[in-house]
Each structure stands twice: as structure tokens, then as C-alpha cells.
């Protein structure tokens, strides 16, 4: 395994912690800043929208930079944004700082995904993406439970100071290990890249990503109140259960990458159906503590089994042009799904059937993603292309 790939994983770890740790601290942040849980949940949506805005903007601004310079700049933005979160005096300031930190997210994972695919053999590209995203999953196994405990024990601001420290470490590791230049097949051309991005299969792939991840985050955003109010578990049990969720993320992420290298399209479609099935089972399972722990682990595994296939599909459909831009937009699509999911969950809680109705509403979203993916496959113009994608082959 190239050391540069491990360096990307460290950066992914830091970004993963800051994205997800707020979910375990919604009650603390809400109480300290005087806002409701649903208002605190919008900090997740704000971060996600920051990713959506930052991914195309920063990718376009850095298109002619070396990839290493781009990655280092993004980690600097990430670190400054988290330090600003730690000192934010009110809700509006915290929201602004979260958006600033989020600006680094989409382009980091977008450029990093492309870098990862250049570091390995062609038949290992989806696995390389999955390995980089392992940083995101390990963040959930180790970083999020620790950050949740740290925030509950010493205040939520301490968690953001710790995340800023992780950003500094990631900056140093990337500076030391990532190659200075990774040559492109063609000179950067933003107009050409945007044209590639506007291809129908790419756009439908992005929509698939949005819908699939909206389903996950409609539930996961409110995982703490679901476990404490529906399942009846004490708040002290939340961190260990988040550890189980994170373990599921690692298993699902690596399994999805391995299967996508072999058969990309079946893996993409199958993972969406499995995610829908798990979300449907989550509602009944939450009423039984033991079943709730198991279903949370399965939720993590089924959700992240979709990451590498969806990311690889969009990169493949860009057909060699604008891979960094398409990859960054797909990361933005993941986070747009996060924002929409958090909003849908809040609407269901505040204006619908309530907290227990969230899982049922969430299950409809990956089903819609599956239907859009089928549409995308039907509109892929070249038949040979479909065969290559189905076997997970290199098509550059």
C-alpha cells in the first residue's frame, strides 16, 4: 500500500471527525447556545451545504495547481475553520465556522479520490478509494465516540479544539508523504471538464448519490434522541453504540470497494437496495435495545458499502475528462444528501408523525436512488462501456 494513500487516509480521518462528531453533541450545543435540537441539527445541514458550495468553487480555483498544493491548502482551511468553531460565541458564528471548515471537504475527497486511483493498479482503483475513505470510517469508530465523550465531559468546544489539532497532524503527514506532482493525462481545461460533468449519466449518478445519502442522514442525524427516547437507552450508552456504527462503516466501506472492483454496477444497485431494507428494519428494531445495537451496525455497513461504487461510477462516467471536478461534485452530492436528509428528518419530527416516523420516511430515499441508478444505466450511450463498468475494468 503506497504511503501516500495512507496520508490521504489521515486527512480523511480529520474531516470525518468534524463532519460527524456534532451529531453526538446536539444536546450539549443546543443547551449551551439556547437553541432546539432541530435547530442544532441544522449545523449538520449547514456543514453539508458548505461542502456543496465549496466543492465546485475550490476545485475550479485550484484546477491548475499541483494536487499536493491543493490538498495542503484545503487542510489549512479545515484547521482554521475548526479553531473558529471552538471559539464561536453564538449559534450564527458557529454555523459560519462550520461552513468555512466544510469548504475544504468536497475538494479534498474529490482530488484525493483521483490521486488514490493513480497510486494503484487499474483493477484496484475502487479499493484505493475505499481505503482513503477508511479514514472517514475510522473517524466514526474512534474519533466520533471519543469526541462525543470529550464534549460531554469537558464541553463541546474542547472537541473542536481536538479536531483542529488533528488537522495540523494531517497537514504535516500529507506534506511529508504525498508526491509533489501527479501528472494528468491532459492539461486542465475547465470548460472541457464542465462539459464532461454535464453528461446525463454523470448527472444521474450525482442524483443517485444525493438520494442514497439523504436516507442515511435522515436517521443518523437524530441518532442520539432516537436511542435515548425511542429505545430508552441512557445517554452514556450512545458513545459505545456509535463505536458499533463506526465498525459497520469500516466493514461496509472495504467490502463495497472490493465488490465494486469486481462488478461495479451490481454492487452499486445492490448496496442501495440493502440500505433501503436496513432502514425499513430500523424502526421496529429501535424498540428493543439489543436489536437496536445490531441494526445500527448494519446501518453503518450498508450505508458505506455504497460509497466506493457511487464514487467510482461518477469517475468512470466522466470518461477521463474532468475527473477531479466530477469526483468533487459527487462528494458534494453526498453532503447535499446529508443536508436534505437532516432537513427531512427535522420536518418529520416537528410536523409529521414524530421521531419514530423518521426511519420509515428515510427508507423511501434509497429506493428512489435505486430507480434513478437504473435510469442512469439505461441512458449510458455506449454498450461496450456498460460491459466495462459491469466488470469493474479500467476504462480510461
Q: What is the pLDDT of residues 146-184, one digit of tens each?
A: 888 898 889 889 999 999 998 898 899 888 888 776 545
The 3-class secondary structure across 217-272, one letter per residue, is HHHHCCHHHHHHHHCCCCHHHHHHHHHHHHHHHHHHHHHHHHHHHHCHHHHHHHHH
Burial tier of 29 (Cβ tally within 10 Å: 0-12, 13-18, 19+): buried
> Residues 307-352: pLDDT tens digits?
888 888 887 777 655 676 777 788 888 878 877 888 888 888 888 7
Q: Which domains does the chain have, with CATH numbers?
A: 3-179+188-390 (1.20.1250.20)
Cut 0.85: pTM above it: no
* pLDDT values of the chain reduced to their tens digit, one per residue, 396 residues: 678 888 888 888 988 888 878 877 888 888 888 888 778 878 887 887 888 788 778 877 887 788 888 889 999 999 999 999 999 999 999 999 999 998 888 888 888 887 887 777 777 877 888 888 888 778 877 887 788 889 888 988 999 999 999 889 889 988 888 877 654 544 556 677 777 777 788 888 889 999 998 999 889 888 888 888 888 888 778 878 877 887 888 888 889 888 988 888 899 999 999 999 999 999 899 999 999 999 999 998 998 898 888 888 887 777 655 676 777 788 888 878 877 888 888 888 888 787 888 888 999 999 999 999 888 888 765 433 433 333 333 333
Residue 219 · residue 282 · CB < 8 Å: yes
Length of the chain: 396
Q: Can you tell me the distance from the alpha carbon of 193 to that of 90, in angstroms, rounded to the nearest whole number?
A: 40
Contacts 24+ apart (CB under 8 A), 280-286: 280/359, 280/360, 280/363, 282/219, 282/359, 282/362, 283/356, 283/359, 283/360, 286/226, 286/227, 286/230, 286/231, 286/356, 286/359
Q: Can you tell me the distance from the alpha carbon of 190 to that of 179, in angstroms, rounded to the nearest whole number?
A: 23
Q: Can you tell me the distance from the alpha carbon of 220 to that of 245, in angstroms, rounded to the nearest whole number?
A: 10
189 Cβ partners below 8 Å, 6+ apart?
321
Instruction: Report the candidate in 156, 176, 34, 46 with the shortest Cα–Cα distance to residue 98.
Output: 46
Residue 108 · residue 71 · CB < 8 Å: yes
Q: Can you tell me the distance from the alpha carbon of 141 to that of 246, in angstroms, rounded to the nearest whole number?
A: 4
Amino acid at each position: 500500500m503506497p504511503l501516500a494513500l495512507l496520508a490521504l487516509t489521515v486527512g480523511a480521518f480529520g474531516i470525518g471527525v468534524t463532519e460527524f462528531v456534532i451529531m453526538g453533541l446536539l444536546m450539549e450545543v443546543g443547551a449551551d447556545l439556547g437553541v432546539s435540537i432541530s435547530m442544532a441539527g441544522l449545523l449538520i445541514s449547514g456543514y453539508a451545504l458548505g461542502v456543496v458550495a465549496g466543492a465546485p468553487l475550490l476545485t475550479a480555483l485550484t484546477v491548475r495547481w499541483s494536487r499536493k498544493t491543493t490538498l495542503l491548502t484545503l487542510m489549512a482551511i479545515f484547521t482554521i475553520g475548526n479553531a473558529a468553531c471552538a471559539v464561536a460565541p453564538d449559534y450564527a458564528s458557529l454555523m459560519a465556522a462550520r461552513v468555512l471548515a466544510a469548504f475544504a471537504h468536497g475538494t479534498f475527497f474529490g482530488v484525493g479520490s483521483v490521486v488514490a486511483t493513480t497510486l494503484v493498479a487499474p483493477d484496484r482503483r475502487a479499493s484505493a478509494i475505499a481505503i482513503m475513505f477508511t479514514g472517514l470510517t475510522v473517524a466514526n469508530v474512534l474519533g466520533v465516540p471519543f469526541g462525543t465523550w470529550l464534549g460531554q465531559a469537558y464541553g463541546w468546544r474542547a472537541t473542536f479544539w481536538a479536531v483542529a489539532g488533528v488537522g495540523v497532524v494531517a497537514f504535516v503527514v500529507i506534506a511529508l508523504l504525498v508526491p509533489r506532482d501527479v501528472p494528468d493525462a491532459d492539461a486542465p481545461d475547465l470548460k472541457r471538464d464542465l462539459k464532461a460533468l454535464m453528461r446525463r449519466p454523470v448527472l444521474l449518478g450525482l442524483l443517485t448519490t444525493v438520494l442514497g445519502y439523504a436516507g442515511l442522514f435522515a436517521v443518523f442525524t437524530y441518532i442520539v434522541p432516537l436511542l435515548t427516547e425511542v429505545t430508552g437507552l441512557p445517554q452514556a450508552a450512545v458513545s459505545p453504540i456509535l463505536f458499533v456504527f463506526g465498525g459497520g462503516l469500516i466493514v461496509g466501506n472495504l467490502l463495497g470497494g472490493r465488490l465494486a472492483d469486481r462488478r461495479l454496477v451490481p454492487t452499486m444497485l445492490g448496496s442501495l437496495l440493502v440500505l433501503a431494507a436496513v432502514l425499513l428494519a430500523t424502526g421496529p428494531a429501535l424498540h428493543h435495545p439489543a436489536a437496536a445495537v445490531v441494526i445500527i451496525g448494519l446501518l453503518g455497513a450498508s450505508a458505506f458499502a455504497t460509497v466506493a461504487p457511487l464514487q467510482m461510477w461518477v469517475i468512470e462516467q466522466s470518461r477521463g475528462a474532468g475527473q477531479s471536478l466530477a469526483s468533487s461534485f459527487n462528494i458534494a452530492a453526498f453532503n447535499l444528501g446529508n443536508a436534505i436528509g437532516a432537513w427531512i428528518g427535522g420536518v418529520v419530527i416537528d410536523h409529521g408523525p414524530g421521531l419514530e416516523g423518521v426511519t420509515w420516511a428515510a427508507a423511501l430515499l434509497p429506493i428512489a436512488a435505486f430507480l434513478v441508478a437504473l435510469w442512469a444505466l439505461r441512458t449510458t450511450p455506449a454498450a461496450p462501456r456498460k460491459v466495462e463498468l459491469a466488470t469493474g475494468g479500467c476504462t480510461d
